[in-house]
Amino acid sequence: MPAPRPGPGAELPKAEIHLHLEGSIDLDTLIAIRGRRKRRTEGGERQRLGGLYRHQGFKDFLFHFATLCEELTGPEDLALAATRLAERLAAQRVRYAEVMCSPGIFVRRGIPTDEILDAVLEASAAAQARGGPRLQWILDSVRQWGPRAFEPLVEHAARLRPRGVVGVGIGGDESAWKAQDFAMAYREARRLGLRTTAHAGEFSGPASVWEAIDVLGVDRVGHGIRAVEDPALVRALAERRVPLECCPTSNIATGVVPAWAAHPIPRLFRAGVFVTVGSDDPAMFGTTLAGEWDVLHTQLGLPEEDVVRIGRNTIEATFLGEPERRALLSEFDAVAAAW
């Protein structure tokens, strides 16, 4: 009896557009980072660190994420994380990824932004030179730190555009500060040629998505799945073709969605919303981008042709220049036609 055909997530060239560098650090990489500082990780200590990858809801995840970040004490730690991430993406046939990095987390511990970004950008360029995927970067601020933390990040991002920083965004608590408080900085980002995104409609309801698209004017919405609660918003997203950066396993792991059967991705997709797929914090949630493609079919019940469509949407939603996007789409279409 012939072996079953691998799903499209294993075979097709892919793009990844919702991915946090810090949340991509798996246990082996974390132990390697500690080893560089001659910090032993044995017995109970290894067990403690392993617990950072098992969560009982969103607050638990936030605590584990913060604890993991405390283990990163120098730019070289983030450089190693970027190198390991590029290797894992290459193994999944990811050709291109836009990775979020939150330097403000480490600046607050005395590590200068320039040192962090130099290390990460050099590591990703070196990985690409060795045949890995092309990585571009989105500088992500923590919303609850307010616009004063976001504004200088916009300046750093604009200065580093020639080195592969393509955009800016905000994550964190969607209910912290008003969207209007960030609107001027988002306008400045666009004036400087940066692309924009914002986490919205993940933990907060549809109002946060309306604010992201109408007040902040974002190019894409991070998550956005609670838009399904507002039919007018669903219609607006479909008509405007605003991409939603959907991350199904993340939503289950954090308790945003209680069960696979309740996940809104199929309803959003069938309503014509521009759904894409990403892995969010893959190490923290025990997933991969290829795995996210698989759960669209196996857990959410989407036909494989719809999974392929969502994979193609993801490439279309990238912040690549038009010639590069078209080249990647051509490669994708050629492989999909033969698959």
Token digits for 291?
């795995």
Catalytic center residues: 202
**Residue 296: which of 249, 251, 337 has the closest Cα?**
249
How many other C-beta atoms lie within 10 A of the C-beta of residue 211?
21
In contact, 318 and 325? CB cutoff 8 Å: yes
Which of these, 197, 180, 17, 166, lies nearest to 95 by C-alpha position?
17
- Between CA 8 and CA 147 the distance in angstroms is 41
Nearest-angstrom CA–CA distance, 336 and 291:
18
Amino acid found at 309: R
What tokens were used for 225? 């799945």
Other CB atoms within 10 A of residue 154 CB = 26
